Structure formats: structure tokens, C-alpha cells
Amino acid sequence: KQEVTQIPAALSVPEGENLVLNCSFTDSAIYNLQWFRQDPGKGLTSLLLIQSSQREQTSGRLNASLDKSSGRSTLYIAASQPGDSATYLCAVRPNSGGSNYKLTFGKGTLLTVNP
């Protein structure tokens, strides 16, 4: 059974700092990995989706990397801003089997960026 772990569970940083969120997964047979942002009262917003054949994806100040063989992904946020404060979730999609639509999520990292 796939297990996804996110470290740290919570992180508080001053504005302007660069930071890294970590995600690890136990089964490397994944189709893709996705990073989501969760804001209170809102849905999950997809930030970056990395296919299993890719090593990284970038969007603005965000960069996500994937090392499928070691079961790890990182989300790098450059020059953090208070508006980045949210919970960040990592989710993997399996590559094999009849249930390859099921996303398995980690518990998330609660990020607080202080002005």
C-alpha cells in the first residue's frame, strides 16, 4: 500500500526566505506526483504536476523536483511571501493496477510566512 509522508508537518519562516518542503512515497510505481495548495474554505489548488518521466517542473517562484527511484519529491518556494501561507499537500498517482485514478495524499505541511 502506498504511503506518502510530508516533512515538516509545520514550518514558520520570515518573509523573503527560500524554503523547501519534502514529500516521500513508499512505492515508486507512480504515474505522476502533484503538489496542491489548500486554503481554509477553498478547494485544493493544483500547483505543479510532475510526470514520472520528468525530473522537475517550475511555475513562477515554485519548483518541484522528483526522484522516483528514491521515492522523493521536493517543493522549493523562492522569496516567500505572506500570501504563500497555506497547507501544501503532496499526492501521488499509481502507475499500475486497475485503480490508477486514486490519488494518495500526504498529511500536508502547514506553512506560515511572517511579514
Partner 1 sequence: GAGVSQSPRYKVTKRGQDVALRCDPISGHVSLYWYRQALGQGPEFLTYFNYEAQQDKSGLPNDRFSAERPEGSISTLTIQRTEQRDSAMYRCASSSTGTSRGEQYFGPGTRLTVT
Query: Which residues are at the interface with partner 1 (CB under 8 A)?
Result: 4, 31, 34, 36, 41-46, 49, 89, 91, 93, 99-108
CB of 42 to partner 1, least distance (A): 6
Separation CA 109–CA 8 (nearest Å): 6
Nearer to partner 1, 98 or 115 (CB): 98
Cα 114–Cα 49–Cα 29 angle in degrees, nearest 5: 120
Nearer to partner 1, 80 or 87 (CB): 87
Nearer to partner 1, 8 or 16 (CB): 8
CB of 14 to partner 1, least distance (A): 25
CB of 83 to partner 1, least distance (A): 19
Residue type, 102: K
Cα 72–Cα 91–Cα 26 angle in degrees, nearest 5: 45
72 CB-near residues (< 8 Å, 6+ apart): 22, 23, 24, 25, 66
